[in-house]
Amino acid sequence: MSLLRSIHTIWKNSASLCDATTGVPHERVFTGRIPQTKQYAFPYVSILVVGGGQTGRTDKTRYSRALMSFHIWVDDDDLEFAHELATVISDEYADNCWQIDSTSKVLDITDEGEPNAHQTTLPTTKAWEVVKLFTVFIERQRADQDNQCCVDAFDTSLGSTSL
């Protein structure tokens, strides 16, 4: 399972995120771009994850971070609902951890503060996009390697590499 799928699965299984008054049904939550937005009435949500970078590694594990954003789209008069939904999203995801698949897991998610809101500039559409940001910390198991190059390349008697 991918990170995005695991994030969407959490939404699907969350009563508060799918609640008719405080949330958005999972059928209206998309990972990536929203397909043909004219077919979807507001509100809807798009979840994006962009790469961050590696933060550390061991002989068995890689640690990385990524930015995760929830883009909440609402009608012009529903800005307050979008901010309330951003709070529900934070309550569900921030400071949380879960298994992604058999070799990967989310270790932690940090909330990056207040959501950002802006109105569309399209003359025929009056809508708000509210963006809630998080940083995701991920642990992935490294592939088993019989290669001992990392161990053999270091000559401990000299205190330097033998390359």
Q: Is 91 left (phi over 0), alpha (psi -120 to 50) or beta?
A: alpha
Selection from 107, 98, 79, 116 nearest residue 8 by Cα: 98
Helices marked H in 111-154:
149-152
Q: Which residue has the higher pLDDT, 3 or 156?
A: 3
Residue 94 pLDDT class (50, 70, 90 cuts) = very high
Give the strand pairing for 44-57 and 29-31.
parallel
Q: Which residue has the higher pLDDT, 85 or 32?
A: 85
Q: Give me the mean pLDDT over the 17-38 stretch.
A: 83
Helix axes 3-13, 79-93, angle to 10 degrees: 110
How is the chain split into domains, by residue range?
3-161
Does 3.30.2000.30 match the CATH number of domain 3-161?
A: yes
11/30 Cα distance (integer angstroms)? 11
Mean pLDDT on 85-96: 97
Q: Which one is predicted more confidently, 146 or 73?
A: 73
Better-scored residue on pLDDT, 139 or 34: 139
Using an 8 Å Cβ cutoff, are 130 and 115 in contact?
yes
| Residues 46, 28: Cα–Cα separation, whole Å | 9
Give the confidence band of 162 by pLDDT, cuts at 50, 70, 90.
Answer: very low
Query: Which residue in the block uniquely carries the two structure tokens 């390349």?
Result: 153
Segment 35-60 shows an average pLDDT of 83
